[in-house]
Amino acid sequence: MEEERISERLELVKERLFSMKEETDALSGVWKEYISVTGDFLRNIVETLDSVKSGKFSEYSLETMQDWNRKLYKDITGKQYEQSFACPDYARKRLSEETTAKLCSFLYAEYYGLIGCAFEQKLTEITMFLELYLEVYGLILLSKEEGEAWLAENMREAVVSFYQDNSEFFLERRIQEMLDPSCDFAADIICHADLGDLRYLYRFGEFVSENQLKMAEFLNTFPQEEIDAMAETFVEGFRMGFVRGKIDLSGKRTVNIRYVLGFERIVRAEIAQFEKLGLKPAIYRKADFSINKRLANKIGYYGGSPCEQFYYDHRMDDAFYLDKHFVEKKLSELKRIYEKYKQQAKEYAGPACMEVFGEAPFIPKASEAAAAYSAEQQKLSVDFRMRSALLQDQYIPGDEYSFTIIAYPLPEIGEAFEQIFKETVKVNTLPQELYQKIQQNIIDALDLGSYVKVTGKNGNRTDMKVMLHALSDPKTQTNFENCVADVNIPVGEVFTSPVLKGTEGTLHVSEVYLEGLRYENLELKFKDGMITDYSCENYQGEPEKNKNYIRENVLFQHETLPIGEFAIGTNTTAYRMGKDYRIFSVLPILIAEKTGPHFAVGDSCYSMSEDHAVYNPDGKEIIARDNECSVLRKTDREKAYFNCHTDITIPYDELGKISVFIRQEDGTEKELPIIEDGKFVLEGTEELNLPLA
């Protein structure tokens, strides 16, 4: 019955949408242009919906599919975005009333989420947004008599009501796709399409760039045994997460695979290997509607990027309807949804993520016209993220699932792509036993000390003192985890959660990319393990704009964050690859963090699973799982976590020294160097210097 009602509603709005095109005299000027552009886009959505449903789309040639894909995304592709109503700056320039301009840009950006819905045949979403569009169209018509201020007020009311009324639907859709493998739109294409026929890429509905086409074409040249070997590295890492964490895998049924289009041959092999572990894939699209977005982060599967500035400009679009009532409503609805899917949540094994690197670095432009949180909304956004994470932990406890993550280069990285890809595969499969032994030597030395000092060189101003937990029984306890390539591929780091009190100093890097965003001369200052000040030089002569950039994208609107992790990367082979191919600046955090010491701000690596005992291969328990923030979970969980974790790495060529300081019986301190002048000097680590030569 519900499907029939939706179909009836859809037919009515489709009829009205197409009849609008003939109403040439209803509007004039910029409003006529806006309705014409957005109306044409939505009519393309309906045509796509019908073409996919009838099976006609799958019969198109590759060239026709490419033209269709370009037509759908043309308004937000490259430079065209700057002349699109989806661009807040352009909308503000064309429309006289500020609020109306922002809402028009916001709505057009939301409509772009309907492209994926058309390919997935999600009639409910399409119907709801078309009805909203027609409601706004009616308001624009009336505004000729009522005026711009009236229009702005009523458009905002329409938007707020839309999300208030439909929030539970959008939230449930997202959670269902994460937990229920019967939502198999993407998995069906991956497992059953002819991957040798690149037309399959266009069936997802994502933007298809040269990266996706060339990547798929490149992987089609590999023999199946090499594809299976890459998949095995990934799946075995996931399995070993359960083994190392002493978590029971037998009751798990679902694994969430996240990846970028073009890698389907590897993903198909992964699905087959996961099935041998009793796990079915849940593969969902990145969030395209503001209600489920987390700023500009893309979580799920996705294609190429028509324009990164588009995603950046619209990262805070929920500011139009975010208030305290809405936050409480969403949390209440999430509780009901998790309760409905509690069995599937219990069977959830965790995310398995394939990252990519090599895209042209993105340096965002600050837009005054883009939606932005007020001070109160910043607090509400942080509050919601923390409380929703705690709610999820009730149904999917952090110590009852695993994860794995790996990264590969994209063709965009340059002419040496094929060599870099092979080097990356090599980096991802370095001998674990060798690194485990070398890293144990580092851990044994670090466990002797009470604190570590890290200093920079060659203009790097880092000068950090890191306090370590006291070991009550050094024979059975350790501070550092010996990280080999299980969940966190590639191999190559030892890490700990420091004691905050006494941890202090300056962390500085001349250039770093975090979550795809570039920072020049990023500097963070710490006192008792908490950030006290921060700066960068992205915007010359505009210190407040630089601070806002860091506050939003590193602190995630928090007033301060603790140091959640200190680590020493040991993968000098990855560092050599970065230097030889001059790709160090585009290496993902996953690899970059293994190429030098790094500090993570935010939660620790043991967030929400601190009470779950973790052991190194030598049998010692890692006792440094808590800090002064996370321990607050025992009295006030909402103050214990920050729901973020950002790694900042100091490369070897900016690294002066890392030493552990050991307190002697006579009260003096002995300095034991681990790294000096960018080289490993501790006995038993000499082999790590070979790639640095």
3 state DSSP class of 52: helix
Tokens encoding 437: 């032994």
Alpha helix (H) residue ranges in 180-300: 185-192, 210-219, 224-245, 264-276
Burial of 121 (0-12, 13-18, 19+ CB in 10 A): exposed
CB atoms inside a 10 Å sphere around CB 278 = 15
Sorted by sequence, the CB contacts under 8 Å of residue 693 that are 6+ apart come out as none
Q: Which helix (H) or strand (E) holds 382?
A: helix 375-395
Domain final residue, candidates 167, 186, 203:
167
**How confident is the model over 573-599, as pLDDT tens digits?**
999 999 899 998 788 888 988 888 999
Amino acid identity, residue 241? Answer: G
| Per-residue confidence (pLDDT) for residue 485, from 0 to 100 | 63
Q: Is residue 497 part of a domain?
A: yes
Instruction: Give the integer Cα–Cα distance in Å for 403 and 608.
Output: 14
Q: Is residue 346 part of a domain?
A: no
Q: What Cα–Cα distance (Å) separates residue 158 from each residue in 32, 103, 147, 291, 543?
A: 20, 10, 17, 15, 38
Domain final residue, candidates 167, 192, 218:
167
- Domains of the chain: total: 2
Sorted by sequence, the CB contacts under 8 Å of residue 229 that are 6+ apart come out as none
> Looking up tokens 């996953």, which residue turns up?
590
Amino acid identity, residue 447? Answer: D
Q: What Cα–Cα distance (Å) separates residue 389 from each residue in 69, 187, 290, 511?
A: 36, 27, 18, 31
In contact, 691 and 575? CB cutoff 8 Å:
yes
Show the CA angle centred on residue 311, arms to residues 306 and 315, nearest 5°: 175
| Per-residue confidence (pLDDT) for residue 613, from 0 to 100 | 87
In contact, 105 and 85? CB cutoff 8 Å:
yes
Q: What Cα–Cα distance (Å) separates residue 440 from each residue in 135, 478, 480, 670?
A: 65, 11, 9, 20
* Nearest of 530, 447, 561 to residue 494 by alpha carbon: 447
Q: Which neighbouring-strand residues pair with 655?
A: 456
In contact, 36 and 64? CB cutoff 8 Å:
no
Instruction: Give the integer Cα–Cα distance in Å for 417 and 583.
Output: 11
Q: Is residue 397 part of a domain?
A: no
Q: Is residue 602 part of a domain?
A: yes
Q: Which neighbouring-strand residues pair with 326?
A: none
Tokens encoding 364: 């965002």
Phi–psi pair at 6, nearest 5 degrees: -65, -45
Sorted by sequence, the CB contacts under 8 Å of residue 241 that are 6+ apart come out as 247, 350, 402, 403, 404, 486, 487
Q: Is residue 327 part of a domain?
A: no
Instruction: Give the integer Cα–Cα distance in Å for 210 and 673.
Output: 47
Instruction: Give the integer Cα–Cα distance in Å for 372 and 349.
Output: 36
Phi–psi pair at 7, nearest 5 degrees: -60, -40
Instruction: Give the integer Cα–Cα distance in Å for 492 and 436.
Output: 9
Q: Is residue 186 part of a domain?
A: no
Q: Which neighbouring-strand residues pair with 488?
A: 405
Q: Which helix (H) or strand (E) holds 45?
A: helix 29-54
CB atoms inside a 10 Å sphere around CB 553 = 20
Which residues constitute the domain of residue 125? 2-167
Q: Is residue 617 part of a domain?
A: yes
Instruction: Give the integer Cα–Cα distance in Å for 299 and 349.
Output: 17
Give mean pLDDT in consecutive 10-residue pieces for the chain, a chain of 693 residues.
88 94 84 96 98 96 98 97 97 93 97 98 97 97 92 96 96 96 96 98 98 98 97 94 89 97 98 98 97 89 96 95 96 97 97 93 88 91 89 92 94 95 93 91 95 95 96 94 82 94 96 84 96 94 92 90 94 92 86 90 89 88 93 86 89 91 88 93 93 82
**How confident is the model over 442-488, as pLDDT tens digits?**
999 999 999 999 999 999 999 999 999 999 999 999 999 998 767 78
Q: Which neighbouring-strand residues pair with 514?
A: 517
Let me know how many helices (H) and strands (E) the chain has, helices first.
Answer: 21, 19
Instruction: Give the integer Cα–Cα distance in Å for 468 and 498.
Output: 5
CB atoms inside a 10 Å sphere around CB 619 = 9
In contact, 647 and 389? CB cutoff 8 Å:
no
Tell me, rounded to whole angstroms, the distance of Cα 549 from its chain centroid. 17
Q: Is residue 339 part of a domain?
A: no
The order of strands in the sheet holding 451-456 is 530-535, 517-527, 499-514, 463-467, 451-456, 655-663, 669-676, 679-680
> Looking up tokens 């100091």, which residue turns up?
650
Burial state string for 457-490 with b = 16 or more CB within 10 A and e = fewer than 16: eeebbbebbbbbbebeeeeebbbbbbbbbbbbbb
Beta pairing, strands 645-649 & 348-357: unpaired
| Per-residue confidence (pLDDT) for residue 213, from 0 to 100 | 98
* Nearest of 441, 447, 438, 452 to residue 671 by alpha carbon: 452
Instruction: Give the integer Cα–Cα distance in Å for 342 and 365.
Output: 42
Domain final residue, candidates 142, 167, 192:
167
* Nearest of 426, 501, 454, 502 to residue 599 by alpha carbon: 454
Instruction: Give the integer Cα–Cα distance in Å for 596 and 380.
Output: 36
